[in-house]
Amino acid sequence: MTELVVLLDEQGQAVGTADKATVHHQDTPLHLAFSCYVFDGAGSVLVTQRAHTKVTWPGVWTNACCGHPGPGEPIEDAVRRRVRDELGIELQQLVLLLPGFRYRAEMLGVVEHEMCPVFAAVSTDSLRPDPAEVADAAWESWDGFRSGVLDGTRAISPWCRDQVAALPAEPWTAPAAAADGLPPAARRPGR
């Protein structure tokens, strides 16, 4: 089955779709994505190591889950779907924290170029990671993880480093950001 990503213009408006399998290369077009940080509610954050077979950032440690909403799919539904598919857990709480996050990063000639709203979530489920997506996973103290990311001693994906720097001190209790800060392609009608 072909997985489509939503292509964006510089203002975040949808301008088409592309097959995810063909979109990540040295000239990756701007597209819609998301990142999710999963917490256990007591201050521990789930970090994952990307599967070694991934096209982008294989074997790199990062936040719990990243993905792409499909055309017309509400971004919150996409987050829940990918977390369920990749980690085998359900989210009890999902909060938008960085609606306008955007980044471009390159590794081994492959570029990520995304408008990537960032969410925090809480789950108390036992992990059942999909090995095609996740090589390893660990719960870490948020304070220790955040400190290591910010001082450069914790190896992590480039988007995670930039997101952690922008996230509130306690993301799992932070109030939701306004949805009107989302790229237009990620907004529900009427937002």
Binding site, residues?
Answer: 24, 31, 68, 86, 112, 114
Give the residue ranges of the annotated binding site for Mg(2+): 86
What is the C-alpha to C-alpha distance for residues 161 and 156, in angstroms, rounded to an integer? 6
The single residue listed with the structure tokens 């999710």 is: 36
What is the C-alpha to C-alpha distance for residues 64 and 145, in angstroms, rounded to an integer? 13
Give the residue ranges of the annotated binding site for Mn(2+): 24, 31, 68, 112, 114
Residues annotated catalytic, as ranges: 66, 114
Query: How wide is the angle at C-alpha 44 spanned by C-alphas 67 and 68, nearest 5°?
Result: 5
| Position 2, amino acid | T
CB 174 within 8 A of CB 162: no
**What does the radius of gyration of the chain's CA atoms come to, in whole angstroms?**
15
Q: Which of 167, 60, 188 is nearest to 120 (CA)?
A: 167
SS3 content of the chain, % helix, strand, coil (to 5): 25, 30, 45
- DSSP code of residue 125: S
39: Cα separation from own chain's centroid? 14
